[in-house]
Structure 1
Amino acid sequence: MSSDAPVGARPPAGKTFFGHPRALSTLFLTEMWERFSFYGMRAILVLYLTAAVADGGLGIGESTANAVYGTYNAMVYLMALPGGWIADRLIGARRSVLWGGVVIAAGHYVMAIPTGWSVFAGMTLIVLGTGLLKPNISTMVGDLYERDSPRRDAGFSIFYMGINLGAFIAPLITGFLGEKINWHLGFGAAAVGMTFGVLQYVAGRRNLGDAGARPADPLLGADRRRALTRAGIAVGVLALALLVLLVAGWFTVDTVVNLLAVLTVLVTVGYFARILTDREISDTERLRMKAYVWLFVFAAAFWLIYDQAGSVLNIFAADRTDRNVGGFTFPASWLQSVNPILIIIGAPLAAWLWLKLGHRVSTPTKFAVGLVLNGLSFVLMAAAARAAVGGDLVSPWWLVAVYAIQVAGELSLSPVGLSATTKLAPVKYASQMLGLWFLATAVGDAVGGQVARLAQSWSQSTYFLTFGLASVLLGLAAVMFTRQIRGLMAGIH
């Protein structure tokens, strides 16, 4: 094993999983059930928020609901930063994944309670739990391979299949239960899924060997007490700020959403500044982090568009598409399963392609392809919106085609980005760097949630065309800077 592998990374020997370490199967199934719960709830969240009170919903306007959805996604990924820190410095990735799964399950069970307040309380727990689980399970996948192994991208692509298997099944179950029977019953199904995930993880821990067993850079003694004190102060300040908003009468959904979006961007800037100025990382690691800044910006721009599938495109599916098949109107949320099933089909092909190409196609080039394809999907969506002008219902095949293009872009960027993050990460920030990668999604979703408000004031065709062309242009710009970014990566492909 290479000397720059993450601390404690000793992949267990023995049986394999599709030619990869057996431990990958345990992590694959854990992530599958976690994504079942996450995407199952997400598929019906905006529809529940915007549904009339008489229909069991909250009756929130579409503009605010889209912003809530974007900010919720942003918070899920923002909390990956403290979640990575807890694993790196306190309890290790393995226990972080376990406790994260337990808290996520609790959040979904709270959302199943048939009251209005339960949804926001449950989402808060899910945010906290996902922050613990999401970055650290990916770190453990990275622990199974040497840092610059060509098999690493293939392993992450297989892992990505687990994500999308759960994401495919979930909307079919939660969407039917939520839209056709009761919204909170749909949320309850997501809770059961996460429970299965926790039980499977506990049963399969013997396959993991040393992966994630210990903190990469543990805090001890006075340093540990000091860090926990600072964390307590930070939580106290946040609680005080929320109390001030409540007393002043400013504690509204829109105010909280806007403040959290700003917080996400500020945390991102501050975290990059901290790593780049850390004197304990080597000059080579600092150079690689400068390359990572470029990849981060590209990824955030990608998710800004991509994750509107659950908000703007989900509402379009509910209001503008003809979903009647043989007299049965299928739930709008079922279209949320199109994306993951296409990824399930495409992920093995992507894994084979990256293994076949090896180092001949660079990571920045793959990112550029993802951005261009993502933009083209919104250009096509602009045509769909134009066809729906005047209240006409359009074929759901428009959305299927849009998702197919986005999937091709995602397979060029997302699993590759996970792998690149573990390769470019300074050893000191191993798990936290996975949190930083998910922070790209947080920034994209936070800004995207605010951008999605424009879908209510602009014509939909103008909205989709504007941001689609912007993504295409950014992708072409990324191609122009590929050589410079590869130089900063200092030998990492």
Structure 2
Amino acid sequence: MILGNKKDMDHAFFGQPKGLAALVGTEFWERFSYYGMRAILLYYIVATVAKGGLGLSQTTGLSIMAIYGSLVYLASVVGGYVSDRILGSRRTVLYGGILIMFGHISLSIPSAGIVGLFASITFITLGTGLLKPNISDMVGKLYKPDDLRRESAFTVFVFVTNVGAFISPLVCGRVSSSYNYHVGFSLAAIGMFFGLLFYYFGGNKTLGEDGAKPSDPLLDGEGKKVTFIIIAGLIVFAGILAVMKQMNVLTVDNFVSLLSVVAIVTPIIYFVIMLRSKKVTPDEHKKVLAYIPLFIGAVIFWGIEESGSSVLAIFAAEQTNNHLGWLNIDPSWYQSLNPLFIMLYTPLFVLLWSKLGKRQPRTPKKFAYGLFFSGLSFLLMVIPIFLFGTSAKINPLWLVGSWAIIEIGEMLISPIGLSVTTRLAPKAFGAQMLSMWFLADAAGQAVNSQIARFYTPGNEIAYYGTIGLVAIVASVVLLFFVKPIIKLMENVE
């Protein structure tokens, strides 16, 4: 009797491999910790010292939040390399989770102050970069390429991820309001600790040897080259900081600006390398060119979408009527709207694309429509301010409506963009092209870290209106380029 592959035989977790339970549990708690922290971080940064905060300006706080998100996605590129070439996904995810936990602990210490904030940014940025891309890769490795359970497994994985992101702002936000910010950050640390328990003990029992070793380990001599590049990069970066210090311009705002330049320049360098590489065939060259306008559209989209934890968070706290009779809404709770609408919309869009079949819009059109909805979400915010003024407390349904609209845009861009990125990738740059999708978010938030400085009291209409119109104009321009892009894409859809 010939036994089947072990992966084929494993149906212990609701018809899925047992390893999926460990990975889903890990991701649930990781997203719980990250979104719980993010829901209250801006309020902690800008709150006065007397109210338990750091007392930084609103402008600086908005910039820090944006660049924080940008760095997380930049680090994802590094995480993929570390897993593939050095540690393997199993250890990479474990070390990433430990760093994330220490990042939340740094924020939970009341006496840590501004040092704790930057320690947290360092730990969580590196930790999330190591964990986030690799845990998704490990889900895929549970299945053979032709296993029909793969798609449903990722559906479960994404849904549970959003459940964790939905619950955490409600819990951490309420606790931080009832007690203090550091208790809220402690809950985030505890959440990541639970995630590590799921991963370590569950993974050891169910994941076997998958991801235990790097898939493309460094060859002899390559390790020294990589070490040299890392050290040289750190020396150059330290040198720039030393020069800024000598010139008395090393401030938090200027440091954020420096990081923004890195996040914006990195994808540009990637594109130049790919387009000039001799490893890229003429047909692949066309596909990279087709990807550029889609990438720019994604940068604009993510710059708006990621405003939920920065600009819209300020609006939720200062310009929204959060006291509705018996219901007192904590401003941090609005951060749960993003995952809530994703959970609500996902089955609807799956049904829509299934019904339309070959009649559904081509990828560039979906991007254009997504950009339109993202701009519309910001233009909606102009209406209540125009009607009631900047000092009025508006109905929270305006914010809910804005999130409802932007998430339509996300459903048109995020999953579609990830798919088309893999399809347009040159063979020689397959993994690196996938990194480009993360870099679009990084660049969008880097841009956001600079323009968020214009979000000042009395300037709200100009801010929302200008950015909203830019996105809508970009969507119209992209529509004009649909045919040339499709021609460059050739048979890719």
Q: Secondary structure at the match of 1:394?
A: coil
Q: Write the mapping of 1:198-277 to structure 2, written as runs, cut at 5 A.
A: 198-202=196-200, 203-204=202-203, 212=211, 214-277=213-276
Q: Tell me the amino acid that sits aligned with residue 394 of structure 2.
A: V
C-alpha separation in 2, matches of 1:135 and 1:480: 34
C-alpha separation in 1, matches of 2:118 and 2:309: 18
Say if 1:180 and 1:331, in contact at 8 Å, map to a contact too. Answer: no
Q: Does residue 1:63 correspond to 2:62, yes or no?
A: no
C-alpha separation in 1, matches of 2:484 and 2:197: 46
Greater CA drift, 446-455 or 155-164: 155-164
C-alpha separation in 1, matches of 2:129 and 2:92: 9
Identity value in percent: 42
C-alpha separation in 1, matches of 2:153 and 2:465: 36
1:228 is displaced (CA, Å) by 2.0
Q: Write the mapping of 1:352-391 to structure 2, written as runs, cut at 5 A.
A: 352-358=351-357, 360-361=359-360, 362-391=362-391
C-alpha separation in 2, matches of 1:17 and 1:369: 38
Say if 2:75 and 2:126, in contact at 8 Å, map to a contact too. Answer: yes
Against the structure 1 CA distance between its residues 274 and 20, is the aligned structure 2 distance closer, same or farther, given a 3 Å change threshold? Answer: farther
Name the counterpart of 2:455: 455
Name the counterpart of 2:306: 307
1:342 is displaced (CA, Å) by 1.7
C-alpha separation in 2, matches of 1:399 and 1:185: 27
Deviations 1:321-357 (A, max 9, x none): 1111345633111111122112112223333434554
Which runs of 5 or more residues in structure 1 are unaligned?
Answer: 1-9
Name the counterpart of 2:122: 124
Name the counterpart of 2:404: 404
Name the counterpart of 1:5: none
C-alpha separation in 1, matches of 2:75 and 2:283: 28
1:136 is displaced (CA, Å) by 2.6
1:265 is displaced (CA, Å) by 1.0
Name the counterpart of 1:84: 80
Say if 1:153 and 1:354, in contact at 8 Å, map to a contact too. Answer: no
Greater CA drift, 51-60 or 409-418: 409-418
Q: Does residue 1:12 correspond to 2:12, yes or no?
A: no
C-alpha separation in 1, matches of 2:472 and 2:141: 35
Q: Write the mapping of 1:143-182 to structure 2, written as runs, cut at 5 A.
A: 158-182=156-180
Q: Does residue 1:341 correspond to 2:336, yes or no?
A: no
C-alpha separation in 1, matches of 2:340 and 2:451: 28
Say if 2:267 and 2:439, in contact at 8 Å, map to a contact too. Answer: yes
Against the structure 1 CA distance between its residues 443 and 458, is the aligned structure 2 distance closer, same or farther, given a 3 Å change threshold? Answer: farther
What's the TM-score once normalised by structure 1's chain length? 0.89
1:429 is displaced (CA, Å) by 4.0
C-alpha separation in 2, matches of 1:418 and 1:129: 22
C-alpha separation in 2, matches of 1:421 and 1:236: 33
C-alpha separation in 2, matches of 1:347 and 1:465: 29
Say if 1:26 and 1:205, in contact at 8 Å, map to a contact too. Answer: no
Against the structure 1 CA distance between its residues 268 and 405, is the aligned structure 2 distance closer, same or farther, given a 3 Å change threshold? Answer: same
1:71 is displaced (CA, Å) by 1.0
Aligned residue among 29, 32, 39 for 1:33: 29
Q: Secondary structure at the match of 1:453?
A: helix
Against the structure 1 CA distance between its residues 201 and 448, is the aligned structure 2 distance closer, same or farther, given a 3 Å change threshold? Answer: same
C-alpha separation in 2, matches of 1:220 and 1:299: 36
C-alpha separation in 2, matches of 1:434 and 1:169: 29
Name the counterpart of 1:99: 95
1:238 is displaced (CA, Å) by 2.1
C-alpha separation in 2, matches of 1:240 and 1:167: 39
Name the counterpart of 2:323: 324
What's the TM-score once normalised by structure 2's chain length? 0.89
Say if 2:7 and 2:143, in contact at 8 Å, map to a contact too. Answer: no
* Greater Rg by CA: 2
Say if 1:158 and 1:351, in contact at 8 Å, map to a contact too. Answer: no
C-alpha separation in 2, matches of 1:222 and 1:380: 57
C-alpha separation in 2, matches of 1:241 and 1:291: 35
Name the counterpart of 1:474: 474
C-alpha separation in 2, matches of 1:137 and 1:379: 37
Q: Does residue 1:295 correspond to 2:294, yes or no?
A: yes
Against the structure 1 CA distance between its residues 432 and 11, is the aligned structure 2 distance closer, same or farther, given a 3 Å change threshold? Answer: farther
1:428 is displaced (CA, Å) by 4.5
Deviations 1:281-304 (A, max 9, x none): 444444333333222111111011
